[in-house]
Structure 1
Amino acid sequence: MARPTSKDVARTAGVSQAAVSLVLGDKWRGRVSETTAERVREAARDLGYRPNLAARNLRLGSTRTALLVVPALTNDFFARVYTGAARIAAAHDFGVVLYPSPDGIGPAKDPFASARSALDGVIASSMAAGALADIRGGADLPLVMLDSDPADPAAAAHVNVDLADGMRQMTTHLLELGHRRFLHLAAAVDSWTFSVRADAIAQALRSAPDATLHTEPAPLSVHGARAAAERALTGPGPRPTAVICDDDIIAAGACKGVRRLGLRIPEDISVAGFDDLALSTAVDPELTTIRLPAEQVGERGMQALLHVLEGKEPENDALPVELVVRDSTAPPAA
């Protein structure tokens, strides 16, 4: 059986092919009536008609495809970013290809023979614009950066969450509980997102002159973070009473390290995470953390790319974050 065409839809609905194109391209408002639009949609459904997107895209010189580049798939933050981006893309007849960079935040290799001919734009999360040079082919493809340095001029748009406010909220929460000796398990990754977190902790602690802060680099893994926590907690000087971690994976490792030293959470040491990953409620006690609106980041990123492609100005205000207090933090022992 031959595949139905737009001409068949027009004949069945009793309208012109131009009207079919307007309705199925969602450009009918103000040009054809609601009754006509519904008649066209009904005819298309009855006939099983599907637009030939490949032919249309060839005519328009567009693939209607975006590439989302992430450092890894082991962190469910990026999975939720993809979910949000794909939701907006689908509503605009776009596709999103998810590409975990083999070198993490390092230079990302072009996954296609030529990304410029296969994509309309690139969205990258938690990376630097320079790491996307091979994929973009210079500056040919529009680039939207998520969770990245807003001062980077190579990006056409930036979408960020208020990381600094998140760390301020967390540090203030621990200060109000009475903590004054802090350990910061800082991600051993040279990136803008983790630099912002470190600066925010230091700034927040300036409000408490009697507070002390020790920073210990930690790999982004449970095993590596456990070793870093044990190393810091057995070092010289008074033991910290609160551990602030750059993400929940590091916090899970910190919890293991605390227990291996025979200490209790939160009775002896409070442990706080960041990101509110699924892991944060899988550990015992559940982690106090900062919830990031990951799906909204993905949605805003895809919307920004669509705006750039249409020549519009994308939104650039930082998305708010939320302190989630659970059982891993409490006042320090007397």
Structure 2
Amino acid sequence: MSHAPPSRPTSRDVGRLAGVSQATVSLVLGDKWRGRVSERTAQAVREAAQELGYRPNLAARSLRLGQTRTALLVVPALTNEFFARVYTGAAAVAAEHGFGVVLYPSPEGVGPARDPFASARAALDGVIASSMAAEALDAIRGTDLPLVMLDSDPAESGAAAHVNLDIADGMRQMTDHLLALGHRRFLHLSSAVPSWTFDVRARALQERLRSVPDARLHQVSAPLDVPGGREAALRALAAPGPRATAVVCDDDVLAAGACKAVRRLGLRVPEDVSVTGFDDLALATAVEPELTTLSLPAEQVGERGMAALLAVLDGRPPEEGDLPVTLVVRDSSAPAPTR
């Protein structure tokens, strides 16, 4: 004797248990209820759906609404934990709204990614992308896919929204910290990656030191890795003339390289040369001495980016305002040597 499989609960079953209409169930489970039904009613629908084990048919709903409820997050690489944390924040907000996030790192590492859009465009509702991967986005500019840019030039056209960190203020905080320690000879170890965020760091440092009459600044560019930072810092610190007493780095990875360079010259961090980073990666507390750096709220960047995309898809204005950057003082910075 055969037994028919138990039927799956439907939205009508959920509505009957919650005491609401099937349309209300669709509003709540489709996250379109705000301003239409009460929080109490929405909670009753969610509890009924959970009790019945109801799961919306996403494929059918996608066909009906013209949405796949999928966002693409484009980052330059996953070798940098900052972008992994951005993904964590974006995915958390997406999950709350029944969205999925597909992560697309550049196969070449930091820099432009191959075009991921030719076959995937029809399966996406929108794109969130780091400015460091901006060249990978040429394929969608001019299409109807909404684009949210992270850590990018707010004047850049083609994006439906921008989510930025207050990078300039962070660099000013770092510069003021070193100036207060008596440093006047600065070396800026800048990233060779062409990106708006690194340009902002350089400008903020230059502008702040321009107001200090006896301050001197030398800038050198380096590949964004430890060996690149080490070799660039080694050449600059060993060059003839007064040596910099503070090395300001665009990234914690470059700062780790700079610390190696200082030691190879028979000098000490921070007694002879202070070294500072940017990002507050796990690396910042793995090196010795631990790095003075700037902490970036990477998860919040991802959360705000996904929230902005959802707002654009809903026809609402995204949240404005830059996310704050925090100075974290550790043992790699100290008063400038007096000799």
TM-score interval (norm. to shorter): over 0.9
The residue type equivalent to 2:95 in the other structure is A
Percent identity of paired positions between Structure 1 and Structure 2? 76
2:241 equivalent among 237, 240, 251: 237
Q: Whole-Å Cα distance in 1 between the matches of residues 238 and 198 of structure 2?
A: 25
Compute the displacement of 1:124 (Å). 0.5
1:200 equivalent among 195, 200, 204: 204
Q: Residues 183 and 240 of structure 1 are in contact (CA less than 8 Å); yes or no, is this contact kept in structure 2?
A: yes
Q: Secondary structure at the match of 1:127?
A: helix
Q: Residues 272 and 336 of structure 2 are in contact (CA less than 8 Å); yes or no, is this contact kept in structure 1?
A: yes
Q: Whole-Å Cα distance in 2 between the matches of residues 130 and 222 of structure 1?
A: 25
Find out whether 1:250 has 2:259 as its counterpart.
no
Q: Tell me the residue number matched to 1:97.
A: 102
Q: Residues 90 and 299 of structure 2 are in contact (CA less than 8 Å); yes or no, is this contact kept in structure 1?
A: yes
The residue type equivalent to 1:280 in the other structure is A
Q: Tell me the residue number matched to 1:139.
A: 143
Compute the displacement of 1:114 (Å). 2.5
Q: Tell me the residue number matched to 1:291.
A: 295
Compute the displacement of 1:110 (Å). 3.2
Q: Whole-Å Cα distance in 2 between the matches of residues 234 and 30 of structure 1?
A: 65
Give the 3 Å change call, closer, same or farther, for CA 219–210 of structure 1 in structure 2.
same
Q: Whole-Å Cα distance in 1 between the matches of residues 320 and 150 of structure 2?
A: 11
Q: Write out per-residue CA displacement over residues 97-126 of structure 1, whole angstroms, 9 at most, x where no aligned residue.
A: 111022456443333553320101100013
What TM-score do the two structures reach when normalised by structure 2? 0.91
Query: After superposition, where does 1:313-328 map in structure 2 within 5 Å?
Result: 313-328=317-332
Query: After superposition, where does 1:109-258 map in structure 2 within 5 Å?
Result: 109-111=114-116, 113-127=118-132, 129-134=134-139, 136=140, 138-258=142-262
Compute the displacement of 1:299 (Å). 1.1
Q: Whole-Å Cα distance in 2 between the matches of residues 104 and 53 of structure 1?
A: 34
Gaps of 5+ in 1: none
Q: Whole-Å Cα distance in 2 between the matches of residues 33 and 204 of structure 1?
A: 51
What TM-score do the two structures reach when normalised by structure 1? 0.92
Gaps of 5+ in 2: none
Compute the displacement of 1:307 (Å). 1.4
Q: Whole-Å Cα distance in 1 between the matches of residues 314 and 267 of structure 2?
A: 57
Q: Secondary structure at the match of 2:218?
A: strand
Q: Residues 111 and 193 of structure 2 are in contact (CA less than 8 Å); yes or no, is this contact kept in structure 1?
A: no
Q: Tell me the residue number matched to 1:266.
A: 270
Q: Residues 280 and 289 of structure 1 are in contact (CA less than 8 Å); yes or no, is this contact kept in structure 2?
A: yes
The residue type equivalent to 1:193 in the other structure is T
Q: Secondary structure at the match of 2:152?
A: coil
Q: C-alpha root-mean-square deviation of aligned residues, in Å?
A: 2.1
Give the 3 Å change call, closer, same or farther, for CA 7–224 of structure 1 in structure 2.
same
Q: Write out per-residue CA displacement over residues 181-236 of structure 1, whole angstroms, 9 at most, x where no aligned residue.
A: 11110111111111111111111111221111111111100111111111111111
Mean CA deviation greater in 182-191 or 124-133: 124-133
Give the 3 Å change call, closer, same or farther, for CA 178–313 of structure 1 in structure 2.
same
How many residue pairs get matched? 333
Mean CA deviation greater in 9-18 or 266-275: 9-18
The residue type equivalent to 2:241 in the other structure is G
Find out whether 1:67 has 2:72 as its counterpart.
yes
